[in-house]
Amino acid sequence: MKRTILAFTILLALSAFVLGCATITKGTSQQISITSNIDGATLYLDGSVIGTTPYYGEVPKNKKELKVEKDGYRTATIVLSKSLEGMFWGNIILGGTIGSITDFATGGAYAYAPATYQVDLKSDAQSALDFEQEYAVRKFSMIYIDEISRDLAAGEGEYISALLDLMEKQDSAPQAADEVRGALKSCKGRQLEFGNAVVALL
């Protein structure tokens, strides 16, 4: 009897999981958002223009490559996946998002739920070291905005400390933390605005 109940419970759980995944991944298109450190960058999906940054719209799930271009900046080419199957999108929505983008040729890219991509373009005139620092600071600020906010409220913490390390501001930590607090307050919880505001403090 116990085995029957256990088997029935597992069957119900699996059914709910499968139905949930089907709900998330059904259909042939997906709403996505694409932002960049540069507004007005042209977006190509498998060679066809779909718009410019910032972008929000519906795209087919079977596309393979996203290209981001802007005069004066190095083109970023992002390989989404070989077939971009429905479960890839489901995985993005469900949360396994950092690293969902598998490759970028130049520039930096990352994804976070729900189906939102941030692509940083490197200026032709910018040094690699400066770009890498800005990329790291913006990415960290956007992804860990909630944790940074909690650390600032507490007056200390590993996330604000790590951010100040990335910003190379540990020597002026109290002042830098106040500046980050001001950036957080002005952006009102908006990730991209916060990331850009923190980069502006470098």
**Mean pLDDT lowest among 23-32, 73-82, 166-175:** 23-32
Rounded to 5 degrees, φ, ψ at 166 are: -65, -35
Last residue of one domain, picked from the residues 70, 93, 120: 120
**Can you give the pLDDT at residue 65?**
85
Between 91 and 25, the more confident residue is: 25
- Same domain membership, residue 89 and residue 39: yes
Which of the four pLDDT bands, split at 50, 70 and 90, describes residue 63?
confident
* Nearest Cα residue to 163 out of 154, 38, 179: 179
- Same domain membership, residue 152 and residue 106: no
Last residue of one domain, picked from the residues 120, 147, 177: 120
pTM of the model: 0.68
**Cα of 101 vs its chain's centroid, Å:** 9
Give the DSSP per-residue string, 34-85. EEESSTT-EEEETTEEEEESSEEEEEETT--EEEEE-TTBPPEEEE--SS--
Last residue of one domain, picked from the residues 72, 91, 120: 120
Give me the helices (H) in the chain, please: 2-25, 86-94, 128-143, 145-154, 158-167, 173-187, 191-199
Query: What's the rounded Cα separation, in Å, for the pair 177 and 181?
Result: 6
The per-residue pLDDT for range 11-44, each reduced to its tens digit, is 444 444 444 444 344 567 788 888 898 999 999 9
**Can you give the pLDDT at residue 31?**
84
> At 182, which amino acid appears?
G
Residue 94 has pLDDT above 60, yes or no: no
> At 126, which amino acid appears?
Q
**Can you give the pLDDT at residue 101?**
38
Between 177 and 113, the more confident residue is: 177
Query: What's the rounded Cα separation, in Å, for the pair 148 and 159?
Result: 5
- Same domain membership, residue 39 and residue 116: yes
